[in-house]
Amino acid sequence: MQTRTILETLHSVQQQTISDFEIIVINDGSTDDLLAQLKSVNDPRLTVFSYENGGLSVARNRGLTHATGEFIAFLDADDLWTPDKLELQLAALQTHPEAGVAYSWTYYMDNLGQSFHVDKTVTPSGNVYADLLVCNFLAHGSNPLIRRTAIDSVGEFDTSLLSAEDWDYWLRLAATWEFVLVPKAQIFYRQSSSSMSSKVDVMERSQLQVIEQAFERAPAELQPLKKQSLAKIYQYSVQLYITRTLDPEGIRQAWQKLQTAIRFYPPIVFQRKTQTLMVKLFLLRLLPGRCSRALLKWVSQSKAKPIERNEKSPGPTRPIA
């Protein structure tokens, strides 16, 4: 658990425009000053449960055993919500009683919480099973609000997965429940800049495991989507290698993953995202290491938008458009 940001995360929950909810914190074996920080939070809605470290899936499952509400939302300790996140997602579920999950767009925030960008490219609603088989457009675990009846129908998170456990869970929900989109960015998802290539490999293997399991359950008419899904996984690995492991071996791995993605699904080469990744890889090969990294960093920062902060608030108040 990221104790460095936990108070900022909790503040974003306390600032919600609705107030009738419980806040459950699962202390997953933290060995630093997490409990001391949490004691400073004066909120009768907050309950803390401490356990030995079990990992993300185990922590979420433990939280589910303590939750009593009709609707459930997960929030990782380094992510944030906009003040209207719960209100608008709850309204969406109440307006669409057939839906089990409400989700929103995401602000992708840098590691320091100073800038962001928004991705609104995929926005399906209703029966999203086929779309979700191709890619995890919810992107992360801090996004959706889920009916408790939907959660009860699919059970717990898969504790055998070391990553991508949220994608696996959304897929199991999408097999029987409709999703509804709140067309607004409402989650600040903090992107790490320090993951090593070994962690990228773990993420890729877990995603591949999720897809193998998902297509074993999927109906025959959706089986043709598997190659496209595999291509998207390798495309995502290229992105991670470029943004997190800019050493020669990481660049070599990125080229291999890009070629694999194209072999699985050749039309992916015409996607703007793939073409952007190709340009970045060419720059990394043509220019000296420090120059290419500096150029990519400058391009990324020039596209990002700053987050305005209130001096009285530990978290961002709003993005500057």
Per-residue pLDDT tens digits for 169-219: 999 999 999 999 999 999 999 876 554 556 889 999 999 999 999 999 999
Are 172 and 212 in the same domain?
no
CATH code of 45's domain: 3.90.550.10
Count of the separate structural domains present in the chain: 2
Between vectors from CA 186 to CA 181 and to CA 189, what angle results, nearest 5°?
110
- Give the position of tokens 């989507």: 225
Do the domain assignments include residue 196? no
What average pLDDT is seen over the chain?
88
Domain carrying residue 262: 208-305
Are 258 and 162 in the same domain?
no
Q: For 56-89, how does the pLDDT look when each residue is reduced to its tens digit (9 = 90+)?
A: 999 999 999 999 999 999 999 989 999 999 999 9
Are 212 and 178 in the same domain?
no
Residue 315 pLDDT > 60 = no
Please give the share of the chain, as a percent, with pLDDT higher than 70.
83
Are 124 and 74 in the same domain?
yes
Are 103 and 139 in the same domain?
yes
Are 85 and 186 spatial neighbours (Cβ–Cβ below 8 Å)?
yes
Residue 301 has a pLDDT of 60
CA atoms within a 13 Å half-sphere pointing along the CA-CB vector of 62? 19
Average pLDDT over residues 127-146: 96
Q: Report the 10 Å Cβ neighbour count for 193.
A: 11
Do the domain assignments include residue 320? no
Average pLDDT over residues 91-99: 98
Are 109 and 242 in the same domain?
no
Beta strands in the chain (DSSP E): 23-28, 46-51, 71-73, 80-81, 99-109, 115-119, 145-147, 178-190, 305-309, 316-319
Are 164 and 269 in the same domain?
no
Are 85 and 148 in the same domain?
yes
Pick from 191, 223, 249: which residue ends a domain? 191
Flag the least confident range among 13-22, 158-167, 296-305.
Answer: 296-305
Are 65 and 127 in the same domain?
yes
Are 76 and 119 in the same domain?
yes
Are 25 and 173 in the same domain?
yes
- Give the position of tokens 């320091």: 112
Between vectors from CA 57 to CA 59 and to CA 225, what angle results, nearest 5°?
155
- Higher pLDDT residue, 27 or 3? 27
Tokens of 202: 């773990």
Are 131 and 20 in the same domain?
yes
User: What H or E segment, with its residue span, contains residue 223?
Assistant: none
Are 234 and 264 spatial neighbours (Cβ–Cβ below 8 Å)?
yes
